[in-house]
Structure 1
């Protein structure tokens, strides 16, 4: 039976990418060696790294002056590295708290200086994006999380600030058109929309680094990784390669403008059913709904057993909601086909007929 993978992460990837990656594990580029047993210093893998970084710049339309890195440690390490590299000694940073991941970033930043949470949606279990806030002056940087996987919310507009703007885009990178030059630093764990777990994309404006007045351990210093072309230590070879394949797949598809249209169509189908069907309620405020993570609950929990039986029967996987929200979460990342979204909608309609 075909599986319809709505997992929030590690996420669905294009079938053609998985096939190419599988072949490379056995025999990479006709070398009769596996991708994961060749030297990361070999010309074959150096080319992979260069291609991956070049595709990032091309797809995001980044000008000169930005460096692209493939690091390790996930977004969780970037919570720390961002503050280490950008917060000055005795400095101050501003954060918008929109859920679990931004809350963790705030906790790490407090190790390095003063942190002001100047906007939060905690009062309503993070089911909306804060608005009408004032960004304080004198901040070393402002940090936001563009998309919130657990709660299904997404920034449609970003803060206007004279400070550096930092964005965790782990769950919606490459999914929609934005002016990416409005950000001074972007980071994203690969496993939500770009590749397998094990590598983390970092995009940073070169001119903002080296100004904190603190000594940074080499492994945690972005400048160390820039100077070494993302090979200060042995990179995560397989995740970088699969990310490169996924980025090439996206380029061949027509890039971000093309995938954005598909993502909007998928989300529209599912949200329309949630709003139409009296058996379901959307969790996030409508104006802040994510194109990547659709969160919803049953209007009556007595229907849970019947609904779970229906979606399991058709091969749907990974739609149980996060424990802090409950209900259901359908993650419809770039590689999710619209046909799978329709299968979920059909199941929701089937439940309505049977109740």
Structure 2
């Protein structure tokens, strides 16, 4: 079988080695005579998977001891609601930095639970850049941002020092670069881009926040419930967590986050050079100082040419290059599992297509 080069934004590419290991273990996991999908989430066999996933995540991200690691469901979208549901009180205001569609969705959900404020936004220029941050109000409930914006192709280069809990949706760039976890109150991420398949959401939350949850919240929607139960309050997405553990194992074997960050910078550089050296044939959407190393967004001069580009790329077994419907153009999502060679293949194709048109 010839593998298709996968530039989809999510669910996204998974390492081939991970897929092959899962394939080998699929019917009989560690001699259990059952698939990992069939194991009880209370079994010792599954418990080893669960604990390995937590331990690897803690090691790779250098997560301090005063944080809980939770495996939840509902994607990042449920976190848009769970966070204000638990931490936005009547006396406080939740502050937001707007950099795209996902921060808009998080803001819309928070408005259902209390007072909100937008302290910075780049909406004025189609979210092409990460805005400058004014003074952050010290009496707020929390400050929310989206670390990487899949649709517009922008990424935070540095995170603000916040006097209130900093909450970050890192769904599309978690584990792609080194970060200081201690700067954040909550980090959350859907797995389907850098961590594994869809179905599990990782939440990293500072333990002292658990005692500050609002009281009138359903038990299953409280972070403390899942922390006390080691993410086993209800049946977790066991297969997705198993796959996550394999991806983390693969990342460690590749040299950890520091090495994957170098690789990601190299990959992005290859594609941005193809854009910048095209004489305007390709135009990047994001401002240069805000460019994402995960989602490279660009346009061609008209829709007809864009459709031809995407169709020809598909013939060359490159998938997922269409831009989001709200922006159009093209987008190459180059998450951790996408190789340098994949990016070189796309850059060569971009050059050939430009020469032909």
TM-score bracket for this pair, using the shorter chain length: over 0.9
13-22 or 164-173: bigger deviation: 13-22
Q: CA deviation at 1:28?
A: 0.8
Name the CA distance, whole Å, in 1 between partners of 2:85 and 2:304.
49
Name the CA distance, whole Å, in 2 between partners of 1:9 and 1:132.
29
Name the CA distance, whole Å, in 2 between partners of 1:95 and 1:218.
26
Q: Which residue of 1 aligns with 2:27?
A: 26
- Kept in 2, the 8 Å contact 1:310–1:347? The answer is no
Q: CA deviation at 1:313?
A: 2.1
- Kept in 2, the 8 Å contact 1:86–1:209? The answer is no
* 1:128 and 2:132 correspond: no
Name the CA distance, whole Å, in 1 between partners of 2:69 and 2:165.
17
Q: CA deviation at 1:3?
A: 0.9
Query: How is 1:150-299 mapped onto 2 (pairs within 5 angstroms)?
Result: 150-278=151-279, 279-299=281-301
2:53 aligned counterpart, secondary structure:
helix
CA RMSD between the two structures: 1.2
What stretches of structure 1 of length at least 5 have no aligned partner?
none
Q: Which residue of 1 aligns with 2:331?
A: 329
Question: In structure 2, do the counterparts of structure 1 residues 120 and 305 end up closer, same or farther at CA, with 3 Å as the change threshold?
Answer: closer
Name the CA distance, whole Å, in 2 between partners of 1:236 and 1:256.
25
Q: CA deviation at 1:102?
A: 0.7
Query: How is 1:67-78 mapped onto 2 (pairs within 5 angstroms)?
Result: 67-78=68-79
235-244 or 91-100: bigger deviation: 91-100
- Kept in 2, the 8 Å contact 1:149–1:171? The answer is yes
Q: Which residue of 2 aligns with 1:5?
A: 6
Q: CA deviation at 1:91?
A: 2.1
- Kept in 2, the 8 Å contact 1:146–1:155? The answer is yes
Name the CA distance, whole Å, in 1 between partners of 2:169 and 2:116.
17
- Kept in 1, the 8 Å contact 2:306–2:330? The answer is no
Query: How is 1:28-177 mapped onto 2 (pairs within 5 angstroms)?
Result: 28-177=29-178
Task: State the TM-score, normalized to the length of structure 1.
Answer: 0.97
Q: CA deviation at 1:58?
A: 0.5
Name the CA distance, whole Å, in 2 between partners of 1:270 and 1:224.
44
What are the Cα deviations for residues 102-142 of structure 1, in whole angstroms up to 9, with x where unaligned?
11111111122100011111111111111142322310110
Q: CA deviation at 1:311?
A: 1.1
Q: CA deviation at 1:202?
A: 0.3
User: How many residue pairs get matched?
Assistant: 355
Runs of 4+ aligned structure 1 residues displaced above 3 Å come to none
Q: CA deviation at 1:23?
A: 2.7
Q: CA deviation at 1:92?
A: 1.2
